[in-house]
Structure 1
């Protein structure tokens, strides 16, 4: 079997494969013998059908199948061994072949080649790196969340902000009297601190148990159908029929009393012995928040690297006609309109993919099984950290990561994250970083 590659231009080529009878004959004969053992044909015992009949009935289809397998195998070998930097898959040209009469075959394929370009980074390249400030307020909020987990709930006599009220809610008429046939909700529960209107919220300031107050739920909750339907115990579509004032007789006031910052809490959150007082506890919390922000900063850095290198490399040349055919082949159900609308965007993604491949190779980045396992654990740890769970037992991390590694799509995502992480570290060491301190709000606005 003879395979050759002829360049049409810098980004396209034609691959030709010539197959002779000697290349496939043995495989075809073997396949027909195997088929003969399985075929049931009227008038013949199983396995005893004359080979002539087998060849007459199945010879062409078997030939086609074996030639196709041989073609895929040898073309794949040729591309790998000759390091053909191909994009997508070979696209068959119109080959005038008759499998019923021909013994020798010639197949031709259009090949889209990756464009040649150079890319490198050095200390002469300056890129911004955003260090997100961890404020005392962030630490306060996190500490508050931990103390709320161990909070107690007490019944009190007077209302303060964030207390929960329970009582009788009754609809009033235009004269301020209980409306005949109006809504009444026993054991209605609400938290005035969640009201949108400050004037309505102020009505509850300093209120005591057994106090009867008058307020307007529609105004208080800014006509939010979901909140009003929940409070008034009606369907959303019926909320509009109850826009007047209501009385609320306070039967019960419940206050959350946050837990104390004890050694037990420190050990529960951070692990035993990691902090022995509030100052050490807050320092560890600040460090944990900073660690989460570091991942966000690295993510932004790689976005900026991508834009910087795309501009540095410039617009690459692609075999547009072939690339559109490949894209259409992969999106047959979406059609040519989809290809035309998304082609430019797909080239942007492909350009970054090619740039990243070169950088990965240039920096000798490899992904080992241990890297994937570690990334699975780190991903799991980060997910728990989002909910304030810092001290996650190793056994739990192990179990969660093992489940993650059972799914092929999860493994692929982890491999990509390992590559991004290692590449990011390598590039940060090569370029000149312009460290810029920003607030979390300023950082988030960069993505809007």
Structure 2
């Protein structure tokens, strides 16, 4: 076998492979013998079909399959052993392949076009610093969060007059008809232009209104009248509603009962302590977003400061071919910049992993999956051996699920790999910590 790499430029090359009978004939002959033992042909006992007949019937197919298999392995092995930074897939010269005479040739020549990324290196000491934002909760953000919590842990109260957002209870009657029912009207389900007839009313007041104007859609009308949706469509015209009671959500008071509901019994004992805890919670919640923003900034810094040339024409043609008519050349052009950023980022991550000897083992993937299972199902392993076994079994089944061709394992592996590379990059880059208020951080994220 002869393999030659011919580089036309830093980003374009051809891989030429020549095969002789010594390369493929031993394996082809072995497979022909296997066929001879297994093939069943009328007039011959199993295993006694003449070799010449087996060759005539199956020889060409076995030869083609064996050479295709050999080419695939050879190309992959050559790229791997020579550490070629190939982007896209090797593209075979189809005209050359189609011209082969499989009946008479014994030597075969094949050619593949390769798209290469240019050589590059990463020196972390030359890269600019990245910013780690420490989120600080201001008084306004703490007040807003506490107000939201007070609404979430609301109590029920009774009002003297109907307000928007209340629920009013009373008797609903048709002006012309026999319909009558004790029911409740949620004001937030009522049409805006009908609310004025009810707002300000007190217990004992009677309102005359058109039902389908107050509740235009059949679902809200069904809720308001207590009948089935299909029956509600027929309830139209003037109705009266006598107000018997008015209920509303009252924000929870800032007391010990509220503190215990939000943070757990005895976590804090006064409002000052509660505000400190709320500030910590806000900081923790935004901490995850801050970590994600740092990750994006690290990736952007790596891309922006690592010059890499790509075979643009080759990649655009390759994208058109592999997507089989799903995109036009114009659409490829529109999305090409984003595509090349992802390609360069992956090349950079691979280079970092190679230089830092970063590896991902099965146990790494399993550990991350076990955490995912625990969080998803609310399992708490700890010292519970049986629970740990259950978590482990579910995690392994997820990773080895054959229904999606190992995609679960691949996706989790890639995530662990990326996390390891980024964590290593954090240790090598200069990180500047900057305090930032929540509102400023929100604006920063939106602008990014």
Distance 1:33 1:423, change over 3 A: closer
After superposition, what is the alpha-carbon deviation per residue over 1:233-292, rounded to whole angstroms, capped at 9, x for unaligned?
A: 7979x99x97x98643334555668699779995x9778x88364666665554344323
* Partner residue, 1:324: 316
Hey, what's the Cα distance between the residues in 1 that align with 2:414 and 2:285? Answer: 19
* Partner residue, 1:192: 187
Distance 1:265 1:373, change over 3 A: farther
* Partner residue, 2:403: none
Contact 2:369–2:395 (8 Å) recurs in 1: yes
* Partner residue, 1:44: 44
Any gaps of 5 or more consecutive residues in structure 2? 400-405
Distance 1:40 1:421, change over 3 A: closer
Hey, what's the Cα distance between the residues in 1 that align with 2:367 and 2:259? Answer: 28
Hey, what's the Cα distance between the residues in 2 that align with 1:433 and 1:225? Answer: 58
Match of 1:351 among 344, 350, 353: 344
Hey, what's the Cα distance between the residues in 2 that align with 1:194 and 1:45? Answer: 83
Distance 1:72 1:124, change over 3 A: closer
Question: How far did residue 417 of structure 1 move?
Answer: 3.9
Hey, what's the Cα distance between the residues in 1 that align with 2:269 and 2:66? Answer: 75
* Partner residue, 2:286: 293
Question: How far did residue 375 of structure 1 move?
Answer: 3.8
Question: How far did residue 53 of structure 1 move?
Answer: 0.6
Contact 1:192–1:201 (8 Å) recurs in 2: no
Distance 1:303 1:40, change over 3 A: same
Hey, what's the Cα distance between the residues in 2 that align with 1:25 and 1:4? Answer: 22
Match of 1:302 among 287, 295, 307: 295
* Partner residue, 1:15: 15
Query: What TM-score results when the alignment is normalised by the length of structure 1?
Result: 0.74
Contact 1:195–1:201 (8 Å) recurs in 2: no
After superposition, what is the alpha-carbon deviation per residue over 1:345-398, rounded to whole angstroms, capped at 9, x for unaligned?
A: 3223212222333344455544344544554466568779xxxxxx97447996
Contact 1:213–1:247 (8 Å) recurs in 2: yes
Contact 2:189–2:220 (8 Å) recurs in 1: no
Could you say what secondary structure the match of 2:35 adopts?
helix
Match of 1:140 among 143, 146, 149: 146
Hey, what's the Cα distance between the residues in 2 that align with 1:145 and 1:370? Answer: 45
Hey, what's the Cα distance between the residues in 2 that align with 1:201 and 1:81? Answer: 79
Question: How far did residue 413 of structure 1 move?
Answer: 4.0
Could you say what secondary structure the match of 1:318 adopts?
coil
* Partner residue, 2:206: 212
Contact 1:130–1:438 (8 Å) recurs in 2: no
Distance 1:218 1:127, change over 3 A: farther
* Partner residue, 1:25: 25
Question: How far did residue 81 of structure 1 move?
Answer: 1.4
Could you say what secondary structure the match of 1:75 adopts?
helix
Question: How far did residue 4 of structure 1 move?
Answer: 2.0
Query: What TM-score results when the alignment is normalised by the length of structure 2?
Result: 0.74
How many residue pairs align between the two structures? 423
1:149-168 map, 5 Å: 158=160, 163-168=166-171
After superposition, what is the alpha-carbon deviation per residue over 1:3-40, rounded to whole angstroms, capped at 9, x for unaligned?
A: 22121110111111111111111211111111122222
Contact 2:136–2:435 (8 Å) recurs in 1: no
Any gaps of 5 or more consecutive residues in structure 1? 172-177, 385-390
After superposition, what is the alpha-carbon deviation per residue over 1:278-332, rounded to whole angstroms, capped at 9, x for unaligned?
A: 6666655543443231111122223333344433335x43222321333233211
* Partner residue, 2:110: 107
Tell whether 2:119 aligns with 1:116.
Answer: yes
